[in-house]
Structure 1
Amino acid sequence: MNESIVVKAEGLYKIFGRRPADAVKKLSAGVSRDELGKSATAAVIDASFEVYKGEIFVVMGLSGSGKSTLIRMLNGLLPATAGSVTVAGSPLTGISDKELRKLRQKNVSMVFQHFALMPHRTVLNNAAYALEVQGVEKTEREERALKILKLVGLDGWDQKYPSQLSGGMKQRVGLARALAAETDILLMDEAFSALDPLIRREMQEQLVTLQKELGKTIIFITHDLNEAMFLGDRIAMMHDGRIVQVGTPDEILTRPASHYVEQFVQDVDRTRVLTAGVVMDSSPDDVRSASLPGATAVSEDAPLAEIFGLAADSDRPLAVVDDHDNVVGSLGQETLLSALSHTPANGPLSVVEDEQATDITDGEAAR
């Protein structure tokens, strides 16, 4: 296994109901999810993907798409009907309960949507709980938990109880508890969806900041496309239990692999997702022209929303530069306007074909 791959799923299925193995055979033979009838519910169908060390990998889908079932298969909370999961080079599927507990303690922590704090414990003791389970001595676990609480913005709140906290603060405690365990992998299931919009945005920004500092590998589940686009280094789009596209936010936005994905992303604010480096003109002539003295320089990582004012004030294309201030392309007003078009570029990514853009509401069993 490639050392940069920390989580790998291959041919994962999760079937609820009677005769799940038969359902897997039918689905593998091309039977649709709906054709299984009421005897079986296919929550996850033939899911395969890899998550790389240090990235935020977002699984995005509507209610009923299978995303929450999928994340529970990645830490063994739900056993796979078929397929395999490998975590940090070790198999997760098919191992004993003892081996599973050991793998979780060493490698995987989880942050839930509804906080899951223990009301009779202080903030400090909640944050230190995973360390207590690991058998870490009290003084050490409290020292480690206090450092993490400060990191997530809860310095001075360690002796409070959950009932004394706002929703955003409770979620920070849940995040602190996961970080205090010092595992390399964080699973976050709709972790911010219960928060008010402003607090939610704060938590998203804080997660990005923490990720830059700590370098965790994060698998983040959400139904919110803007959240997925903001957080994800890569995004897996799910529909009807299947992963229909995996790609970077700009790849999914500019090269949707199916009609379903294209409809899903049509209302995204492209100016905040697309960057100068994605839409720039990069032919040798464009680079040479932009390298002439007097051109206004912008970073290739700059969102288009931050560039429009500069482009409007300039009578020539902007020079797009890399981290070493080397000119790598140019960006004129015409190119900027063209980038706002919803027309996808040619050449879809690797994809499992999906037929229709229909919402699904099969309920909790298929989430």
Structure 2
Amino acid sequence: MKPKIHGKDLYKVFGDDVTTALDLLKARQSKDEIFAATGQTVGVRNVSFQVAEGEIFVVMGLSGSGKSTLVRMINGLITPSAGEILIDDINVASCSAEELRSVRRDKVAMVFQHFALFPHKTVAENVAFGLKIKGMKPPERRARAQAALEQVGLGARGDSYPDELSGGMQQRVGLARGLASEPEILLMDEPFSALDPLIRSDMQQELLELQRTLKKTIVFITHDLNEAMALGNTIAIMHDGEIAQIGTAEEIVGSPADDYVAAFTRDIDRSQVFAAASIARPADPVDLATDDVTCAMTRMEEMDVNAVHVVDDGKLTGIISYQAANAAHRDGLELKDALEEEFPAATPECMLNDLYPLAESGLPIALMDEKGKLTGIVRPQDVFHQLTATEEKE
């Protein structure tokens, strides 16, 4: 599928001797070496990326890493020194002023870290301000502002003033202002970093809930790795103007590209990064219609598990432990007489931290899809092995 946003071979140098700095960049000199030689500041060097339509693409990095420069190049606030930024088929790095205005009007909205709300305007007036600038008539912009406020849970606060709202509410107004223009793309530059941790976490969850409905293409900038892991479908980690690694949270934490990324992710809570599917094994259940307890014991020995799931006509009906199967074999009982109908189960998308209480049973955890079909199993020991993988490498 064609990307919604495509950055190609991007460079940004701040100063009046860009050509010399670019030559030194392409010769692999460092930012500090280039500054010492030319007085030019390197913001972004040799960056390429793609953002799929409808995904949350998180750009994460520390101060000075180039992340804010990158997001401002996407909507043309900063012009690249070299390279292309394509939004659909429009290269915002070299398009005409009229095309750039069209992109900003119809395709892209930006939500900033600081709320920048007008204190003398109501919440609804703040949300509608951009629409007013575009020349939209009052009834339409009021309706559009109200709809955006409803989306962020502030439908009843349109006539309030900013100083009557909490910090989290004010940030929601900023988000509503971005949504009011009905953009295809939302650029969010550290929008939650000024909020206290609890409100910040709430806003992250609200954004995810909103995204399930709106399915916008979102580029989200943050310096917080936990925030990046919580929000990003795809995460780009920047360092000294370059992208050190692009991937999913599981790919970045599980297979860091270099020592910088490894150091950055070392203390991350792996239980909130890895899903059950990442450590799943084939289920290989026994069938109530064709198998017996001897077959069940053999299957457990082959799989190196202490219990095996049982299906009947393709439907998961229970689990049988090795101890119960052995006792049933000794007493001449059938498979159906020895199975337990209650067993630990989860979805493949379930995070490992949610598997802790299920793993305490000691039984393999059944992974079931939305139709109740058994898709795999997770052994309790595999949960703890994944969580200690970093310690073992060290």
* TM-score scaled by length of structure 1: 0.89
Give structure 2 stretches of 5+ with no counterpart.
285-301, 311-317, 320-342
Within a 5 Å distance, the mapping from 1:1-367 to structure 2 comes to 2-3=1-2, 5-38=3-36, 39-282=39-282, 291-292=309-310, 293-294=318-319, 295-313=343-361, 315-343=362-390
Higher mean C-alpha displacement, 42-51 vs 140-149: 140-149
Shift of 1:219: 0.4
Shift of 1:24: 1.4
For residues 140 and 68 of structure 2, what CA distance do their matches in structure 1 show? 34
Asked whether the 8 Å contact 1:149–1:176 carries over to 2, the reply is yes
Asked whether the 8 Å contact 2:283–2:374 carries over to 1, the reply is no
| Residue identity (%) | 45
Aligned match of 1:359? none
Asked whether the 8 Å contact 2:128–2:145 carries over to 1, the reply is yes
Alpha carbon RMSD of aligned pairs, Å?
2.0
Letter in 2 for 1:266: R
Give structure 1 stretches of 5+ with no counterpart.
347-367
For residues 248 and 290 of structure 1, what CA distance do their matches in structure 2 show? 32
* RCO comparison, higher one (Cα < 8 Å, 6+): 1
Asked whether the 8 Å contact 1:311–1:318 carries over to 2, the reply is yes
Letter in 2 for 1:131: L
Asked whether the 8 Å contact 1:290–1:327 carries over to 2, the reply is no
For residues 391 and 88 of structure 2, what CA distance do their matches in structure 1 show? 36
Aligned match of 1:354? none
Asked whether the 8 Å contact 1:255–1:345 carries over to 2, the reply is no
Letter in 2 for 1:230: A
In structure 2, relative to structure 1, the CA distance for the partners of 1:19 and 1:331 (3 Å cut) is same
Q: Secondary structure at the match of 1:310?
A: helix
In structure 2, relative to structure 1, the CA distance for the partners of 1:198 and 1:27 (3 Å cut) is same
Shift of 1:334: 1.3
Asked whether the 8 Å contact 1:287–1:330 carries over to 2, the reply is no
Asked whether the 8 Å contact 1:318–1:332 carries over to 2, the reply is yes
For residues 308 and 20 of structure 2, what CA distance do their matches in structure 1 show? 61
**Residues 296-355 of structure 1, C-alpha deviations (whole Å, 9 max, x = no match):** 321000011111111112x42112223333323221121011101243999xxxxxxxxx
Higher mean C-alpha displacement, 28-37 vs 199-208: 28-37
Shift of 1:119: 2.2
Q: Secondary structure at the match of 1:156?
A: helix
In structure 2, relative to structure 1, the CA distance for the partners of 1:142 and 1:341 (3 Å cut) is same
For residues 115 and 32 of structure 1, what CA distance do their matches in structure 2 show? 35
* TM-score scaled by length of structure 2: 0.83
Asked whether the 8 Å contact 2:10–2:45 carries over to 1, the reply is yes
In structure 2, relative to structure 1, the CA distance for the partners of 1:141 and 1:303 (3 Å cut) is same
Letter in 1 for 2:101: R
**Residues 72-111 of structure 1, C-alpha deviations (whole Å, 9 max, x = no match):** 0010001111100001222111122222111111100000
Please tell me whether Structure 1 or Structure 2 has the larger radius of gyration of its CA atoms. Answer: 2
For residues 318 and 16 of structure 1, what CA distance do their matches in structure 2 show? 55
Letter in 2 for 1:100: L
Shift of 1:282: 3.7
Asked whether the 8 Å contact 1:16–1:41 carries over to 2, the reply is yes
**Residues 182-239 of structure 1, C-alpha deviations (whole Å, 9 max, x = no match):** 0110000000000111111111110000000111010000000110010111100000
Higher mean C-alpha displacement, 286-295 vs 242-251: 286-295
Letter in 1 for 2:371: H
Letter in 1 for 2:356: F
Asked whether the 8 Å contact 2:266–2:390 carries over to 1, the reply is no
Q: Secondary structure at the match of 1:307?
A: helix
Letter in 2 for 1:259: D
